[in-house]
Structure 1
Protein backbone atom coordinates (compact mmCIF):
# COMPACT_ATOMS: atom_id res chain seq x y z
CA UNK A 1 0.00 0.00 0.00
CA UNK A 2 1.25 3.51 -0.74
CA UNK A 3 0.22 6.86 0.65
CA UNK A 4 1.10 10.34 -0.57
CA UNK A 5 3.86 12.00 1.43
CA UNK A 6 2.82 15.31 2.99
CA UNK A 7 5.24 18.20 3.47
CA UNK A 8 5.25 21.46 5.36
CA UNK A 9 6.84 24.64 4.02
CA UNK A 10 10.39 25.32 5.18
CA UNK A 11 12.34 28.48 5.90
CA UNK A 12 15.16 29.43 3.55
CA UNK A 13 17.47 29.82 6.55
CA UNK A 14 19.88 27.09 7.66
CA UNK A 15 18.04 23.86 8.53
CA UNK A 16 17.43 23.03 12.19
CA UNK A 17 18.97 19.86 13.57
CA UNK A 18 15.54 18.19 13.69
CA UNK A 19 14.89 18.82 10.01
CA UNK A 20 15.56 16.34 7.18
CA UNK A 21 19.17 15.41 6.50
CA UNK A 22 18.67 16.19 2.80
CA UNK A 23 16.59 19.10 1.51
CA UNK A 24 16.29 19.94 -2.19
CA UNK A 25 14.40 23.16 -2.82
CA UNK A 26 13.34 24.31 -6.29
CA UNK A 27 16.38 22.75 -7.93
CA UNK A 28 16.86 23.07 -11.68
CA UNK A 29 19.77 21.96 -13.82
CA UNK A 30 20.30 22.81 -17.48
CA UNK A 31 23.15 21.81 -19.78
CA UNK A 32 24.26 23.70 -22.91
CA UNK A 33 23.67 21.82 -26.14
CA UNK A 34 24.15 22.90 -29.77
CA UNK A 35 20.48 23.89 -30.04
CA UNK A 36 20.40 25.91 -26.83
CA UNK A 37 19.90 24.37 -23.37
CA UNK A 38 18.75 20.96 -22.19
CA UNK A 39 16.69 20.99 -18.94
CA UNK A 40 17.85 17.89 -17.04
CA UNK A 41 15.94 18.90 -13.88
CA UNK A 42 13.24 21.50 -13.35
CA UNK A 43 11.85 22.70 -10.01
CA UNK A 44 12.63 19.60 -7.94
CA UNK A 45 11.69 19.55 -4.24
CA UNK A 46 12.69 16.52 -2.13
CA UNK A 47 13.47 15.95 1.53
CA UNK A 48 15.00 12.83 3.08
CA UNK A 49 15.11 11.97 6.78
CA UNK A 50 17.72 10.07 8.73
CA UNK A 51 16.66 6.43 9.05
CA UNK A 52 15.01 6.44 5.63
CA UNK A 53 15.84 4.54 2.43
CA UNK A 54 14.60 6.60 -0.51
CA UNK A 55 14.61 5.07 -3.97
CA UNK A 56 14.60 7.46 -6.92
CA UNK A 57 13.18 5.72 -9.98
CA UNK A 58 12.42 6.66 -13.56
CA UNK A 59 13.35 5.94 -17.14
CA UNK A 60 16.75 6.69 -18.61
CA UNK A 61 17.05 10.43 -19.12
CA UNK A 62 14.55 11.27 -16.39
CA UNK A 63 17.19 13.11 -14.32
CA UNK A 64 17.98 10.48 -11.67
CA UNK A 65 21.77 10.52 -11.95
CA UNK A 66 21.80 14.31 -12.35
CA UNK A 67 19.96 14.59 -9.04
CA UNK A 68 22.40 12.25 -7.32
CA UNK A 69 25.39 14.18 -8.67
CA UNK A 70 23.91 17.41 -7.34
CA UNK A 71 23.37 15.89 -3.89
CA UNK A 72 27.00 14.77 -3.86
CA UNK A 73 28.32 18.13 -4.98
CA UNK A 74 29.77 16.53 -8.11
CA UNK A 75 27.66 18.93 -10.17
CA UNK A 76 26.13 22.34 -9.43
CA UNK A 77 22.47 23.35 -9.73
CA UNK A 78 21.50 26.04 -12.20
CA UNK A 79 18.90 27.24 -9.70
CA UNK A 80 17.61 26.29 -6.27
CA UNK A 81 19.11 25.11 -2.98
CA UNK A 82 20.59 21.80 -1.84
CA UNK A 83 21.16 21.18 1.87
CA UNK A 84 22.93 18.01 2.95
CA UNK A 85 23.69 17.29 6.62
CA UNK A 86 23.32 20.97 7.49
CA UNK A 87 25.55 22.25 4.69
CA UNK A 88 24.36 24.44 1.82
CA UNK A 89 26.07 22.37 -0.87
CA UNK A 90 25.21 24.86 -3.60
CA UNK A 91 27.33 27.46 -1.77
CA UNK A 92 30.42 25.37 -0.94
CA UNK A 93 33.48 26.58 -2.90
CA UNK A 94 34.85 24.17 -5.48
CA UNK A 95 38.14 23.97 -3.55
CA UNK A 96 36.33 22.62 -0.47
CA UNK A 97 33.79 20.28 -2.05
CA UNK A 98 35.97 17.15 -2.11
CA UNK A 99 36.84 17.48 1.58
CA UNK A 100 33.18 18.08 2.47
CA UNK A 101 32.08 15.11 0.39
CA UNK A 102 34.63 12.84 2.06
CA UNK A 103 33.17 13.57 5.48
CA UNK A 104 29.45 13.94 4.75
CA UNK A 105 28.62 11.58 1.89
CA UNK A 106 29.35 7.95 1.10
CA UNK A 107 29.12 7.09 -2.61
CA UNK A 108 28.34 3.67 -4.07
CA UNK A 109 28.46 3.04 -7.83
CA UNK A 110 27.09 0.39 -10.18
CA UNK A 111 30.55 -0.77 -11.25
CA UNK A 112 32.05 -0.61 -7.73
CA UNK A 113 35.00 1.69 -8.62
CA UNK A 114 37.42 -0.25 -6.42
CA UNK A 115 41.11 0.31 -7.18
CA UNK A 116 42.30 -2.98 -8.69
CA UNK A 117 45.88 -2.91 -7.35
CA UNK A 118 44.84 -2.39 -3.71
CA UNK A 119 43.47 -5.00 -1.37
CA UNK A 120 39.87 -4.75 -0.26
CA UNK A 121 40.96 -3.45 3.16
CA UNK A 122 43.20 -0.85 1.53
CA UNK A 123 40.30 0.30 -0.65
CA UNK A 124 38.18 0.81 2.46
CA UNK A 125 41.00 2.75 4.13
CA UNK A 126 41.35 5.23 1.24
CA UNK A 127 38.66 7.70 2.40
CA UNK A 128 40.18 7.68 5.89
CA UNK A 129 43.59 8.48 4.40
CA UNK A 130 42.14 11.28 2.27
CA UNK A 131 40.14 13.02 5.00
CA UNK A 132 42.37 12.29 7.97
CA UNK A 133 39.31 11.61 10.11
CA UNK A 134 40.74 8.41 11.58
CA UNK A 135 44.13 8.05 13.29
CA UNK A 136 46.57 6.03 11.17
CA UNK A 137 46.82 3.22 13.72
CA UNK A 138 43.02 2.83 13.72
CA UNK A 139 42.48 2.69 9.97
CA UNK A 140 43.05 -0.99 9.28
CA UNK A 141 41.17 -2.17 12.41
CA UNK A 142 38.23 0.05 11.43
CA UNK A 143 38.36 -1.21 7.82
CA UNK A 144 38.17 -4.78 9.12
CA UNK A 145 35.22 -3.86 11.35
CA UNK A 146 33.38 -2.37 8.38
CA UNK A 147 34.11 -5.37 6.18
CA UNK A 148 32.79 -7.60 8.94
CA UNK A 149 29.67 -5.43 9.12
CA UNK A 150 28.97 -6.03 5.43
CA UNK A 151 29.84 -9.72 5.72
CA UNK A 152 33.14 -10.05 3.84
CA UNK A 153 35.85 -9.64 6.49
CA UNK A 154 37.50 -12.88 5.35
CA UNK A 155 38.30 -11.24 1.99
CA UNK A 156 40.09 -8.21 3.45
CA UNK A 157 43.51 -9.04 1.98
CA UNK A 158 42.33 -10.07 -1.47
CA UNK A 159 42.32 -7.76 -4.48
CA UNK A 160 38.92 -6.89 -5.99
CA UNK A 161 39.33 -9.23 -8.98
CA UNK A 162 39.30 -12.19 -6.59
CA UNK A 163 35.80 -11.30 -5.35
CA UNK A 164 32.38 -11.88 -6.88
CA UNK A 165 30.29 -8.92 -8.04
CA UNK A 166 28.18 -9.00 -4.88
CA UNK A 167 31.27 -9.12 -2.68
CA UNK A 168 32.81 -6.20 -4.56
CA UNK A 169 29.65 -4.17 -4.05
CA UNK A 170 29.74 -4.95 -0.33
CA UNK A 171 33.36 -3.80 -0.28
CA UNK A 172 32.27 -0.58 -2.00
CA UNK A 173 29.59 -0.07 0.65
CA UNK A 174 32.16 -0.61 3.42
CA UNK A 175 34.36 2.02 1.74
CA UNK A 176 31.40 4.42 1.61
CA UNK A 177 31.00 3.98 5.38
CA UNK A 178 34.68 4.60 6.14
CA UNK A 179 34.23 8.10 7.57
CA UNK A 180 30.80 7.36 9.08
CA UNK A 181 28.95 9.85 6.84
CA UNK A 182 25.33 10.74 7.66
CA UNK A 183 24.35 10.27 3.99
CA UNK A 184 24.79 7.37 1.57
CA UNK A 185 24.17 7.92 -2.15
CA UNK A 186 24.00 4.91 -4.47
CA UNK A 187 23.84 5.05 -8.28
CA UNK A 188 22.29 1.86 -9.71
CA UNK A 189 24.00 -0.24 -7.00
CA UNK A 190 22.29 -3.47 -8.10
CA UNK A 191 22.46 -2.88 -11.86
CA UNK A 192 25.46 -5.18 -12.31
CA UNK A 193 24.24 -7.97 -10.00
CA UNK A 194 22.04 -11.04 -10.36
CA UNK A 195 18.63 -10.91 -8.68
CA UNK A 196 19.57 -12.92 -5.59
CA UNK A 197 22.71 -10.88 -4.93
CA UNK A 198 20.82 -7.66 -5.64
CA UNK A 199 18.29 -8.58 -2.97
CA UNK A 200 21.01 -9.07 -0.36
CA UNK A 201 22.59 -5.71 -1.24
CA UNK A 202 19.21 -3.95 -1.03
CA UNK A 203 18.65 -5.52 2.37
CA UNK A 204 22.03 -4.19 3.49
CA UNK A 205 21.08 -0.67 2.37
CA UNK A 206 17.80 -1.02 4.26
CA UNK A 207 19.65 -2.04 7.44
CA UNK A 208 22.04 0.91 7.11
CA UNK A 209 19.13 3.32 6.63
CA UNK A 210 17.22 1.98 9.58
CA UNK A 211 20.42 2.22 11.61
CA UNK A 212 20.29 6.01 11.20
CA UNK A 213 21.71 6.89 7.77
CA UNK A 214 19.84 8.89 5.15
CA UNK A 215 20.13 6.65 2.08
CA UNK A 216 19.21 7.73 -1.46
CA UNK A 217 19.40 5.10 -4.16
CA UNK A 218 18.94 5.76 -7.88
CA UNK A 219 17.68 2.66 -9.64
CA UNK A 220 15.77 1.25 -12.60
CA UNK A 221 14.30 -1.38 -10.28
CA UNK A 222 10.55 -1.02 -9.80
CA UNK A 223 9.88 -3.88 -7.40
CA UNK A 224 11.38 -2.49 -4.21
CA UNK A 225 8.69 -3.74 -1.83
CA UNK A 226 10.22 -4.72 1.47
CA UNK A 227 13.29 -2.52 0.95
CA UNK A 228 12.55 1.15 0.20
CA UNK A 229 10.72 3.40 2.65
CA UNK A 230 9.95 5.94 -0.08
CA UNK A 231 9.67 5.92 -3.84
CA UNK A 232 10.33 9.16 -5.71
CA UNK A 233 9.53 8.93 -9.41
CA UNK A 234 11.13 11.33 -11.88
CA UNK A 235 9.97 11.97 -15.43
CA UNK A 236 11.40 14.63 -17.75
CA UNK A 237 13.37 16.15 -14.88
CA UNK A 238 10.42 16.57 -12.52
CA UNK A 239 9.03 14.69 -9.54
CA UNK A 240 5.78 13.10 -10.69
CA UNK A 241 5.22 10.92 -7.63
CA UNK A 242 6.59 10.89 -4.10
CA UNK A 243 5.10 8.19 -1.89
CA UNK A 244 5.78 6.57 1.45
CA UNK A 245 5.70 2.79 1.23
CA UNK A 246 3.71 1.09 3.96
CA UNK A 247 4.33 -2.59 4.68
Structure 2
Protein backbone atom coordinates (compact mmCIF):
# COMPACT_ATOMS: atom_id res chain seq x y z
CA UNK A 1 0.00 0.00 0.00
CA UNK A 2 2.82 2.43 0.89
CA UNK A 3 6.06 2.88 -1.03
CA UNK A 4 8.53 5.58 0.04
CA UNK A 5 11.64 5.88 -2.11
CA UNK A 6 14.71 7.99 -1.30
CA UNK A 7 12.63 10.67 0.37
CA UNK A 8 14.29 13.79 1.69
CA UNK A 9 12.34 16.40 3.65
CA UNK A 10 14.19 19.55 4.67
CA UNK A 11 12.78 22.55 6.50
CA UNK A 12 14.42 26.00 6.45
CA UNK A 13 15.96 26.99 9.77
CA UNK A 14 17.62 30.39 9.99
CA UNK A 15 20.20 30.57 7.23
CA UNK A 16 20.34 26.79 6.92
CA UNK A 17 17.93 23.89 7.07
CA UNK A 18 17.00 20.92 9.21
CA UNK A 19 16.65 17.54 7.49
CA UNK A 20 13.72 15.62 8.99
CA UNK A 21 13.81 12.75 6.46
CA UNK A 22 17.17 11.72 5.04
CA UNK A 23 16.94 9.49 1.94
CA UNK A 24 14.19 7.51 3.64
CA UNK A 25 12.92 4.37 1.93
CA UNK A 26 10.39 1.83 3.19
CA UNK A 27 7.40 -0.25 2.13
CA UNK A 28 4.25 -1.07 4.10
CA UNK A 29 1.83 -3.69 2.83
CA UNK A 30 -1.94 -3.50 2.87
CA UNK A 31 -3.36 -4.69 6.19
CA UNK A 32 -0.18 -4.17 8.21
CA UNK A 33 -0.22 -2.59 11.67
CA UNK A 34 3.05 -0.68 12.01
CA UNK A 35 4.53 1.31 14.89
CA UNK A 36 7.04 4.06 14.13
CA UNK A 37 9.23 4.83 17.13
CA UNK A 38 12.21 7.04 17.88
CA UNK A 39 13.32 9.94 19.98
CA UNK A 40 11.91 13.44 19.63
CA UNK A 41 13.20 14.97 16.39
CA UNK A 42 13.84 11.61 14.73
CA UNK A 43 11.36 12.32 11.91
CA UNK A 44 8.35 10.30 13.06
CA UNK A 45 5.71 13.00 12.67
CA UNK A 46 7.29 14.14 9.40
CA UNK A 47 6.88 10.62 8.08
CA UNK A 48 3.17 10.59 8.96
CA UNK A 49 2.69 14.02 7.40
CA UNK A 50 4.31 12.80 4.19
CA UNK A 51 2.05 9.73 4.12
CA UNK A 52 -1.01 11.93 4.64
CA UNK A 53 0.02 14.40 1.96
CA UNK A 54 0.17 17.18 4.55
CA UNK A 55 3.86 17.71 3.71
CA UNK A 56 5.50 17.22 0.34
CA UNK A 57 8.96 15.69 0.04
CA UNK A 58 11.90 17.89 -0.94
CA UNK A 59 13.11 14.94 -3.02
CA UNK A 60 12.07 11.34 -3.65
CA UNK A 61 8.60 9.83 -4.06
CA UNK A 62 5.74 8.90 -1.75
CA UNK A 63 3.20 6.48 -3.22
CA UNK A 64 0.08 5.33 -1.40
CA UNK A 65 -2.14 2.73 -3.08
CA UNK A 66 -0.35 3.46 -6.36
CA UNK A 67 -0.89 7.22 -6.22
CA UNK A 68 2.20 9.44 -6.43
CA UNK A 69 1.28 12.13 -3.91
CA UNK A 70 3.88 14.53 -5.26
CA UNK A 71 2.13 14.56 -8.64
CA UNK A 72 -1.18 15.83 -7.25
CA UNK A 73 -2.24 19.47 -7.10
CA UNK A 74 -3.16 20.89 -3.70
CA UNK A 75 -6.88 20.54 -4.39
CA UNK A 76 -6.50 17.00 -5.75
CA UNK A 77 -4.35 16.11 -2.75
CA UNK A 78 -6.98 17.40 -0.31
CA UNK A 79 -9.66 15.37 -2.08
CA UNK A 80 -7.44 12.28 -2.09
CA UNK A 81 -6.70 12.69 1.62
CA UNK A 82 -10.37 13.05 2.52
CA UNK A 83 -11.23 9.75 0.88
CA UNK A 84 -8.15 7.66 1.61
CA UNK A 85 -6.63 8.66 4.95
CA UNK A 86 -7.97 8.83 8.50
CA UNK A 87 -5.93 10.93 10.93
CA UNK A 88 -5.83 10.61 14.72
CA UNK A 89 -3.88 13.09 16.85
CA UNK A 90 -2.60 13.18 20.43
CA UNK A 91 -4.83 16.07 21.48
CA UNK A 92 -8.03 14.84 19.78
CA UNK A 93 -8.73 18.12 17.87
CA UNK A 94 -12.49 17.81 18.20
CA UNK A 95 -14.42 21.01 17.52
CA UNK A 96 -15.75 22.15 20.91
CA UNK A 97 -19.00 23.72 19.67
CA UNK A 98 -20.14 20.60 17.80
CA UNK A 99 -21.58 17.50 19.40
CA UNK A 100 -19.59 14.29 19.24
CA UNK A 101 -21.80 12.99 16.42
CA UNK A 102 -21.45 16.24 14.50
CA UNK A 103 -17.66 16.01 14.81
CA UNK A 104 -17.77 12.55 13.26
CA UNK A 105 -20.04 13.77 10.46
CA UNK A 106 -17.75 16.67 9.53
CA UNK A 107 -15.32 14.71 7.30
CA UNK A 108 -18.31 13.22 5.48
CA UNK A 109 -19.58 16.72 4.72
CA UNK A 110 -16.17 17.76 3.33
CA UNK A 111 -15.48 14.68 1.21
CA UNK A 112 -19.09 14.03 0.13
CA UNK A 113 -18.23 10.33 -0.15
CA UNK A 114 -21.21 9.34 2.00
CA UNK A 115 -24.74 10.35 0.91
CA UNK A 116 -26.11 13.15 3.08
CA UNK A 117 -29.07 11.08 4.26
CA UNK A 118 -26.68 8.40 5.59
CA UNK A 119 -24.21 10.60 7.44
CA UNK A 120 -25.82 10.84 10.86
CA UNK A 121 -26.65 7.14 10.94
CA UNK A 122 -23.07 6.32 9.95
CA UNK A 123 -21.71 8.61 12.67
CA UNK A 124 -23.83 6.84 15.27
CA UNK A 125 -22.74 3.44 13.96
CA UNK A 126 -19.07 4.43 14.21
CA UNK A 127 -19.50 5.78 17.74
CA UNK A 128 -21.14 2.50 18.74
CA UNK A 129 -18.24 0.67 17.13
CA UNK A 130 -15.67 2.44 19.30
CA UNK A 131 -17.83 2.03 22.41
CA UNK A 132 -19.22 5.53 23.01
CA UNK A 133 -22.54 5.52 21.17
CA UNK A 134 -24.22 6.87 24.31
CA UNK A 135 -22.10 10.04 24.11
CA UNK A 136 -23.20 11.05 20.59
CA UNK A 137 -25.26 14.09 21.60
CA UNK A 138 -22.75 15.52 24.08
CA UNK A 139 -20.11 18.21 23.58
CA UNK A 140 -16.49 16.99 23.61
CA UNK A 141 -15.66 18.91 26.81
CA UNK A 142 -18.01 16.67 28.78
CA UNK A 143 -16.16 13.49 27.77
CA UNK A 144 -13.12 11.92 29.39
CA UNK A 145 -9.82 11.88 27.53
CA UNK A 146 -10.28 8.26 26.51
CA UNK A 147 -13.80 8.95 25.25
CA UNK A 148 -12.58 11.95 23.25
CA UNK A 149 -9.88 9.83 21.63
CA UNK A 150 -12.45 7.18 20.73
CA UNK A 151 -14.55 9.94 19.16
CA UNK A 152 -11.49 11.08 17.22
CA UNK A 153 -10.97 7.52 15.95
CA UNK A 154 -14.62 7.36 14.87
CA UNK A 155 -14.13 10.67 13.03
CA UNK A 156 -11.02 9.27 11.30
CA UNK A 157 -13.13 6.33 10.06
CA UNK A 158 -15.94 8.57 8.77
CA UNK A 159 -15.22 8.08 5.06
CA UNK A 160 -14.06 4.46 5.46
CA UNK A 161 -10.42 5.19 4.53
CA UNK A 162 -8.13 2.24 3.77
CA UNK A 163 -5.26 3.90 5.68
CA UNK A 164 -5.33 5.09 9.30
CA UNK A 165 -2.48 7.28 10.58
CA UNK A 166 -2.14 8.10 14.28
CA UNK A 167 0.38 10.47 15.87
CA UNK A 168 0.89 9.65 19.56
CA UNK A 169 -2.78 8.70 19.99
CA UNK A 170 -2.23 7.54 23.57
CA UNK A 171 0.25 10.23 24.61
CA UNK A 172 -2.34 12.25 26.52
CA UNK A 173 -3.95 9.27 28.28
CA UNK A 174 -3.32 7.25 31.43
CA UNK A 175 -1.94 3.74 30.97
CA UNK A 176 -5.26 1.94 31.45
CA UNK A 177 -7.08 4.18 28.97
CA UNK A 178 -4.15 4.00 26.56
CA UNK A 179 -4.39 0.21 26.54
CA UNK A 180 -8.10 0.38 25.75
CA UNK A 181 -7.45 2.75 22.84
CA UNK A 182 -4.72 0.47 21.48
CA UNK A 183 -7.23 -2.39 21.63
CA UNK A 184 -9.56 -0.32 19.41
CA UNK A 185 -6.77 0.07 16.85
CA UNK A 186 -6.02 -3.66 17.03
CA UNK A 187 -9.66 -4.45 16.32
CA UNK A 188 -9.68 -2.13 13.30
CA UNK A 189 -6.52 -3.76 11.98
CA UNK A 190 -8.07 -7.21 12.43
CA UNK A 191 -10.76 -6.07 9.98
CA UNK A 192 -8.04 -5.48 7.38
CA UNK A 193 -7.34 -1.77 7.75
CA UNK A 194 -3.74 -0.58 7.32
CA UNK A 195 -2.58 1.37 10.39
CA UNK A 196 0.61 3.35 11.01
CA UNK A 197 1.04 4.65 14.56
CA UNK A 198 3.73 6.92 15.96
CA UNK A 199 4.01 6.07 19.63
CA UNK A 200 6.19 6.15 22.74
CA UNK A 201 3.81 3.67 24.38
CA UNK A 202 5.83 0.70 25.59
CA UNK A 203 2.85 -1.62 25.17
CA UNK A 204 2.58 -0.80 21.46
CA UNK A 205 4.63 -3.91 20.64
CA UNK A 206 1.84 -6.09 22.02
CA UNK A 207 -0.59 -5.05 19.27
CA UNK A 208 1.46 -4.19 16.16
CA UNK A 209 2.90 -6.51 13.50
CA UNK A 210 6.03 -4.48 12.87
CA UNK A 211 8.17 -1.79 14.46
CA UNK A 212 10.19 0.78 12.51
CA UNK A 213 12.83 2.75 14.42
CA UNK A 214 13.90 6.17 13.12
CA UNK A 215 17.04 8.09 14.04
CA UNK A 216 17.78 11.45 12.42
CA UNK A 217 15.29 10.82 9.63
CA UNK A 218 16.63 7.40 8.72
CA UNK A 219 15.38 3.86 9.33
CA UNK A 220 17.83 2.15 11.66
CA UNK A 221 15.70 -0.89 12.51
CA UNK A 222 12.69 -2.53 10.88
CA UNK A 223 11.49 -5.78 12.32
CA UNK A 224 8.43 -7.92 12.79
CA UNK A 225 6.98 -8.12 16.27
CA UNK A 226 5.81 -11.30 17.94
CA UNK A 227 3.29 -10.58 20.68
Q: Is TM more than 0.5 here?
A: yes
SS at match of 2:81: helix
CA-CA distance at 1:221 after TM superposition: 2.2
2:20 paired residue among 25, 30, 40: 40
Q: Does 1:68 align with 2:45?
A: no
Q: Is the 8 A contact 1:150 1:171 kept in 2?
A: yes
Counterparts of 2:85 and 2:169, CA distance in 1: 15
- Residue pair 2:170, 2:181 contacting (<8 A) in 1 also: yes
Structure 1: gaps spanning 5 or more residues: 1-20
Q: Does 1:163 align with 2:143?
A: yes
Of the structure 1 ranges 48-57 and 216-225, higher mean CA displacement relative to structure 2 is found in 216-225
| Structure 2 match to 1:126 | 106
| Aligned positions, number | 227
Q: Is the 8 A contact 2:10 2:20 kept in 1?
A: yes
TM-score (norm 1): 0.90
SS of 1:54's equivalent in the other structure is: strand
- Give per-residue Cα distances to partners, 1:160-199, cap 9 Å, x unaligned: 0111000000000000000000000001000000000000
Q: 1:143 aligns with which of 123, 136, 139?
A: 123
Q: Which runs of 4+ in 1 moved over 4 A?
A: none
CA-based RMSD: 1.0
Match for residue 182 of structure 1 among 159, 162, 166: 162
More helix by share: 2
SS of the counterpart of 2:113?
Answer: coil
* 1:98 matched to 2:78: yes
Q: Is the deviation greater in 143-152 or in 40-49?
A: 40-49
Q: Does 1:172 align with 2:143?
A: no
Q: TM-score, normalised by structure 2?
A: 0.97
Residues 206-221 of structure 1: pairs in structure 2 closer than 5 A: 206-221=186-201
- State which drifts further: 24-33 or 233-242: 24-33
- Equivalent position SS for 2:61: strand
Answer yes or no: is the 8 Å Cα contact 2:167–2:198 preserved in 1.
yes
Q: Distance in 2 between matches of 1:201 and 1:47?
A: 26
- How far apart, in 1, do the equivalents of 2:201 and 2:7 lie? 24
Per the alignment, residue 28 of structure 1 pairs with: 8
More moved, 137-146 vs 39-48: 39-48
